[in-house]
Structure 1
Amino acid sequence: MTLSKRSVYILLVIILTIVIDQISKVLVRANIDLRTDIHPGERISLIGDAFIMMNVENTGAFLGMGSDLNPTLRIILLLILPIVVLGFVLRHIFKDKSLDTLSLFAFASIIGGGLANVYDRIVYGKVTDFLFIDLGGVFKTGIFNMADLSVTTGMIILVVASFKKKKPSKT
């Protein structure tokens, strides 16, 4: 069985997304003191107070949501459900030949980022987050990682692409 260029492209984006995320997390775990409830951890300024790196272990999902759930519910909502959804999305992008390259990139980025965080939950029981942006109250994020950035970027691309597709044609 040979893979088409399209399939190789999809798999390459997914694999590169996972690799970049995992390498960044390994470097953070090895080089930045962990922030805990007791220990403030290290804060490394990348661009003043606007862009900061730190090491935070997140047992929940986005912004720690779900970290207070009982273990069974956490497994269902943070492991099983994401794997099932990512599997359906992967199946969809392999089957839907009408998707353009940018949409394929977006979906593959979402899948790669999602799988990278699921991997962390399976292997470590938590996800390493380390990036924080604060643009003086104009824009502020929670603490995130490269996988989160991939998922968010993919979603933004899909939203923008959907608006471009829905433009009324001039007659």
Structure 2
Amino acid sequence: MRLKKGIRNLMIVLIIACNIGCDQISKTIVREEVDYNENITLITRFLTLTKIENSGAFLSVGDSLPFVVRFIVLSLIPLIALGIGLYIVLTRTSMKRPIVIGICFVIGGGIGNLYDRMLYGSVTDFLHMDFVLFKTGIFNMADVSIMIGIGTLIVFSYIAKNKRIQYS
């Protein structure tokens, strides 16, 4: 039983580490190879690479806050939340696998962005998508990890809820 828990926790740490690694490798490449506000088309009229530094949160929300408030809201509180999330996912062994994976993606993406914020004072964003009727803000791979994690949690919760309704 202990070995099984150890393997489970190792897999959790590996999933989180892979998310952090993909994020940090992509940001390092962009920081070294792309100029600020340079536009590089990756997929015609769909995906563009544009390097910016974001000192706020999503879509630069909070970047004009005083430093102390910005530090508390964008660094300290997320650090505590990520720590609690990691503790929960490592200790609650009864959670379903899709929930664990979703949480790991959120934690990995959160750590990737938090690492940038703590080390550089801002987060490097570089991807922009244009769906003609809808355009995204500029984001990074940590943001993608967070969205995949949240999407996994929502889809699994929806499926689990529908299964309970069908079997009631």
Mapped pair 1:169 → 2:166? yes
Mapped pair 1:156 → 2:158? no
Across the two proteins, how many residue pairs are aligned to each other?
Answer: 164
Q: Report what 1:121 is aligned to.
A: 117
Tell me the distance in 2 between the aligned counterparts of 1:10 and 1:170.
31
**Unmatched runs of 5 consecutive residues or more in structure 2:** none
Q: Report what 1:12 is aligned to.
A: 14
Once the two structures are superposed, residues 67-88 of structure 1 have per-residue CA deviations (whole angstroms, 9 ceiling, x without a partner) of: 0100000000010000011111
Tell me the distance in 1 between the aligned counterparts of 2:35 and 2:141.
19
Tell me the distance in 2 between the aligned counterparts of 1:164 and 1:116.
29
Q: Report what 1:37 is aligned to.
A: none
Tell me the distance in 2 between the aligned counterparts of 1:96 and 1:161.
18
Tell me the distance in 1 between the aligned counterparts of 2:131 and 2:146.
21
> How far has the Cα of 1:141 moved from its partner?
1.0
Runs of 4+ in 1 over 3 A off after TM superposition: none
| Structure with the bigger percentage of helix | 2
> How far has the Cα of 1:169 moved from its partner?
2.4
What letter matches 1:154 in structure 2?
Answer: G
Once the two structures are superposed, residues 128-157 of structure 1 have per-residue CA deviations (whole angstroms, 9 ceiling, x without a partner) of: 0000001101x3211000000000110010
Tell me the distance in 1 between the aligned counterparts of 2:94 and 2:104.
15
**Unmatched runs of 5 consecutive residues or more in structure 1:** 35-40
Once the two structures are superposed, residues 37-83 of structure 1 have per-residue CA deviations (whole angstroms, 9 ceiling, x without a partner) of: xxxx2101011121100101000011100101000000000100000
Mapping 1:1-171, distance limit 5 Å: 4-34=6-36, 41-137=37-133, 139-167=134-162, 168-170=165-167
Tell me the distance in 2 between the aligned counterparts of 1:5 and 1:100.
15
Tell me the distance in 2 between the aligned counterparts of 1:111 and 1:73.
22
What letter matches 1:7 in structure 2?
Answer: N
